[in-house]
């Protein structure tokens, strides 16, 4: 008489397991649908720029896992565009540097960017130690071919500062090929210095030059800033004033 209840308990247990399996499957499918809907919704709101709905919910989460660019000392972000009509070029300003003379472009086609960290009242400050960037665009005379212009620049650094010149790597500025030179020299009172000079022949009647320099200790950060400026440069027809 006890065998009948035991035989009835076995199918009841199997039925209970099936119900829990069905519930588990439903929960998994529901979670997957929610994730897919969230991703699709986020893509839609990002593309359509509504600024509402799922995009607002997911955006803070996504931003929280992105690297903090502001925490990286060598990350330099571009800012406002500065146009030099007389020199035929434009560039974007960068954090930590300021233009020494806003009228420089009108006078000689050049701009002088200097670090905001320079303390001119410091008795140990030496003119030319930087960090500094000099940009210059101009219409050359007919007697000055580009190769001669580049050679003159190297000779000046060698004779005036006894600089050691390394290599002649090819570079690209605004899609145009140029030549770059690295200089190592010493500046009285400032110590060992580094500089990089990049020259570009925009065309036969338009040359451009940018030189970056600083003490050896500040060179890595200065070079990162210099590259940010170089990457923002664009050229157009100069309008001498």
Per-residue pLDDT of the chain (241 residues; tens, 9 = 90+): 444 444 444 445 555 555 656 665 565 655 555 544 444 444 443 444 444 333 333 333 333 333 343 434 344 445 888 899 889 999 998 989 988 876 667 666 789 999 998 888 888 888 888 899 999 998 888 778 899 999 999 999 999 999 999 876 788 999 999 999 999 999 999 999 999 999 999 998 899 999 999 999 999 999 999 999 999 999 999 887 7
Residue 154, CA distances (Å) to 63, 150, 184, 211 in order: 47, 6, 12, 12
Q: What is the largest CA-CA distance in the chain?
A: 121
pTM value is: 0.64
Q: Give the number of C-alpha atoms closer than 13 A to the C-alpha of residue 34, restricted to the C-beta side.
A: 7
pLDDT above 90: percentage of residues in the chain: 40
**CB within 8 Å of 7: residues ≥ 6 apart:** none
| Rg of the chain in Å (alpha carbons) | 32
Of 68, 115, 121, which is closest to residue 96 (Cα–Cα)? 115
pLDDT of residue 68: 42
Architecture of domain 69-235: 3-Layer(aba) Sandwich (3.40)
Domain regions of the chain by residue span: 3-64, 69-235
Per-residue H/E/C for 41-57: HHHHHHHHCCCCCHHHH
pLDDT of residue 196: 94
Task: Say if CB 164 and CB 174 are below 8 A apart.
Answer: no
């Amino acid at each position: 008489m006890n065998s009948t209840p035991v035989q009835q308990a076995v199918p009841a247990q199997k039925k209970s397991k099936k119900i829990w399996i069905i519930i588990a499957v439903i929960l998994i499918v529901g979670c997957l649908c929610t994730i897919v809907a969230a991703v699709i919704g986020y893509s839609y709101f990002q593309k359509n720029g509504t600024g509402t709905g799922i995009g607002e919910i997911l955006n803070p989460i996504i931003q929280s896992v992105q690297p903090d660019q502001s925490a990286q000392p060598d990350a330099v972000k571009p800012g406002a565009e500065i146009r030099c009509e007389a020199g035929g070029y434009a560039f974007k300003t960068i954090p930590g540097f300021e233009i020494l003379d806003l009228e420089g472009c009108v006078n000689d086609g050049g701009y002088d960017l200097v670090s905001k960290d320079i303390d001119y009242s410091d008795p140990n400050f030496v003119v030319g130690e930087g960090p500094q960037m000099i940009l210059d665009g101009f219409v050359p005379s007919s007697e000055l071919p580009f190769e001669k212009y580049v050679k003159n620049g190297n000779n000046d650094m060698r004779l005036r500062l006894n600089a050691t010149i390394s290599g002649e790597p090819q570079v690209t500025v605004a899609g145009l090929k140029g030549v770059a030179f690295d200089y190592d020299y010493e500046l009285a009172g400032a110590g060992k210095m580094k500089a990089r000079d990049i020259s570009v022949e925009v065309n036969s009647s338009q040359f451009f030059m940018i030189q970056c320099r600083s003490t050896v200790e500040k060179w890595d950060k200065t070079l990162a800033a210099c590259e940010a400026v170089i990457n923002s440069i664009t050229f157009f027809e100069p309008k001498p004033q």
